[in-house]
Amino acid sequence: MTTITLVQGDITRQSADAIVNAANSSLLGGGGVDGAIHRRGGPAILADCRRLRAGHHGKGLPTGQAVATTAGELDARWVIHTVGPRYSQEEDRSESLASCYRQSLRVADELGARTVAFPAVSAGIYGWPLEDAARIAVETVRATDTAVEEVRFVLFDERAYEAFAQWVG
Ligand code: AR6
């Protein structure tokens, strides 16, 4: 059984086996939580990302996929980078957002991670409405078969926390 917990705060301050990053396909950093993770985690994370780009992920990481690197100086063993879809009013990309959570948990299982901290993937710069992003996140984690014992959603502000709390109950 996976326990879902909610925390309001900065994900880079969390202690967990794996911390999930809402990255972009380049894997080379950006703003939002991605920028914060690279800033606090230090250059080892970017060095690992560059190695991935030089190897298997030469074209970058497709939307909905996930891949792990070192967590550098973060209080975690790994950062799992996933690429959320940009929100679209024309096209339903929910399945792609659900895939981010499923694939991140699959990578976590491969690593043997038991505690995994997630941000609200796609709910910032990528424009996803918070309520919907929260529903997809919680429903997907509940429906995923994983050995991860704790999935902790780390929400940056009260609005995001409340959006997730509606679904976690
Ligand atoms: N801890 C926890 N949550 C955070 C933090 C933090 N330190 N900082 C921001 N958030 P975003 P996206 C929240 O924009 O929408 C980057 O440039 C934020 O309030 O980080 O998936 C990437 O490189 C929001 O609720 O990710 C991509 O280009 C949530 O994290 C693009 O942004 C996600 O917001 C990805 O956009």
Q: What is the ipTM of this complex?
A: 0.99
pTM of structure: 0.98
Q: For ligand 1, atom 27, which residue shows the shortest CA distance?
A: 24
SS3 category, 77: coil
Q: Cβ atoms within 10 A of the Cβ of 147, count?
A: 11
Give 20 Cα–ligand 1 centroid separation in angstroms.
Answer: 11
**Residues 81, 63: contact at Cβ < 8 Å?**
no
How many residues in the chain?
169
Q: How does the average pLDDT of the chain come out, rounded?
A: 97
d(CA 101, CA 85): 12
Give 150 Cα–ligand 1 centroid separation in angstroms.
Answer: 21
Residue 105: predicted pLDDT: 98
Query: What digits encode the pLDDT tens for the residues 72-111?
Result: 999 999 999 999 999 999 999 999 999 999 999 999 999 9
Q: Of 66, 75, 16, 2, give the one whose Cα is nearest residue 40.
A: 75
d(CA 85, CA 36): 20
Query: In the structure, which protein residues have their CB atom closer than 6 angstroms to any atom of ligand 1?
Result: 10-12, 22-24, 30-34, 36, 84, 119-126, 154, 156, 160
Q: Where are the domains of the chain?
A: 3-168
**Which CATH code for domain 3-168?**
3.40.220.10
